[in-house]
Chains A and B, each alone.
Chain A
């Protein structure tokens, strides 16, 4: 019975919105530095690499390297924003500030809390992606209206990375634990997913690995959409991201229940 409950599908109430609103209220107080960070980080990388390397490389995959890289960064910025929120910020609320403990004393379940955090981390991811798309648009590299279709992709990617992050969070013993995930999972993913160069440059076996990574699928959707082209095999990419989001959130739920409820 107890085991069955630990592995049950998440059972949610609309009150999970209150968790999202709590985080939003905190964010609103720190919105200016947060938004500046959303712009500054990728912009610095983009100008450094896009202009510097771009001058050496010329066109990549039929477009300027700056545009190629910028589209990749829209996807990776989403990944990092969702991940940092689901790791460091969620851990602080779960473990350090005991915010989750306070919430579940109200008529809220741990599933509600986790789902609220999940949606919140995806929202922050969308904000980070939007900042990148704003930059891309300002430089005239976004082709509307199709570029708008990149937004739901960023939401889906945000949900996928937020879910993975929450699952890691449920296993964390402290903030240092997250270095493993960042260094051993996210950094290689960033290199293998076609953010900096086309995946076709990689040796065949590594391309197979890349094809399993969620960031790869996000890039494969976002880049063509931003340049006004319909992606090849869009349903496959959407399905992989949705799979990571759904399975990831289920795993995160089970692991968090095991950590806090058993």
Chain B
């Protein structure tokens, strides 16, 4: 396999087993510097394990990874000096203030305290935590904690940022603020690799995506390209009494129908015949919208629950 030095992250045929189960089975990644790359997948798809393999925190059974041009896990310590990580679950130090969290974390990268402290005002401003420098962690909201975790991941001014489900559990305001901060980082030329199962997040932020399921990457491309490639452009969602009978009659009006419980999804490039027919159905409720990444995701990974 050719190995490029310019890629921020490259993985070849990564495989990892846990307790006799294949968690990651043959993942390839090529992420260029400056990209915002999204790894999408249902719970248990192997996203977090893939990130850990790429960070050199765990060793693969097979395959190899290069992080900022350095082989991991062999040179993981060196490589991670240029990387920031926002983990899935907050692991800020509850005994420390906001500033202490940043200083203590900065020391793990080796510079002196003076250099770290010089960076702190800038980090607090970036995270919108000015005036909270001496606040205890327990007094911060969920959004503030997430922003502090992001600031902590930037303490070493990394080239590459890994974010594992950066906005899970946040309210819309807090989520939008995180997205805005990430766009700012992208403008600075940083490479971002994030995992998410929020399609909206992926569609808004990512230049390129990989959809992962059962340890494998099943589709890759830009959000637009994935939608164009995998799904009809328009969707009509229908529910209400008499749904079954209507679906049987309407079959010929659209190329693809999908039923999930009490809802029918009609997919077509032109949904005008479906809508014309639905206008005559008093009982049925419908919603017409453009196809989005979630439709692609559900088509590729199925509608079954994953726990």
Interface residues of A (CB under 8 A from B): 1-2, 5, 13, 15, 18-19, 21-22, 25-26, 29, 97-99, 101-109, 261-262
Query: Does the CB pair B58–A102 fall under 8 Å?
Result: no
Is B269 close to A, CB under 8 A? no
* Per-residue contact bits, chain B 44-87, to A (CB 8 Å; 1 contact, 0 not): 00000000000101110100000000000000011011010101
Please tell me if B107 contacts chain A, counting CB pairs below 8 Å. yes
Residue A15 contacts which of B91, B100, B108 (CB distance < 8 angstroms)?
B108
The 3 closest A-B CB pairs, nearest first, are: A106-B108, A98-B91, A105-B85
Q: Which of B89-126 contact A (CB under 8 A)?
A: 89, 91-96, 100, 104-105, 107-110
Residues in B lying within 8 Å of A, measured CB to CB: 55, 57-59, 61, 77-78, 80-81, 83, 85, 87, 89, 91-96, 100, 104-105, 107-110, 156
A99 with B77: in contact, given A25-B100, A105-B85 (CB under 8 Å)?
A: no
Within the assembled complex, what's the spacing in Å between the Cα atoms of A99 and B152? Answer: 13
Contacts of A98 in B (CB 8 A): 87, 89, 91
- On whether the beta carbons of A107 and B81 are closer than 8 Å, the reply is yes
Q: Is the CB of B107 within 8 A of A18?
A: yes
Residues of A within 8 A of B105 (CB): 102, 106
Q: How far is the CB of B50 from chain A (nearest CB, A)?
A: 15
For B81, the chain A residues whose CB sits under 8 A away are 107
Residues in B whose Cβ lies below 8 Å from that of A261: 57-59
Report the separation of the CA atoms of residues A108 and B56 in the bound assembly, to the nearest whole angstrom: 11
Give the residues in chain B near A15, CB-CB below 8 Å.
Answer: 107-108, 110
Looking across the interface, which residue of chain B has its beta carbon closest to that of A6? Answer: B59
B108 pairs with A103, CB closer than 8 A: yes
| CB neighbours of B104 from chain A (8 A) | 18, 21-22, 25
Q: How far is the CB of A160 from chain B (nearest CB, A)?
A: 27
Measured between beta carbons, the chain A residues less than 8 angstroms from B80 are 105-107
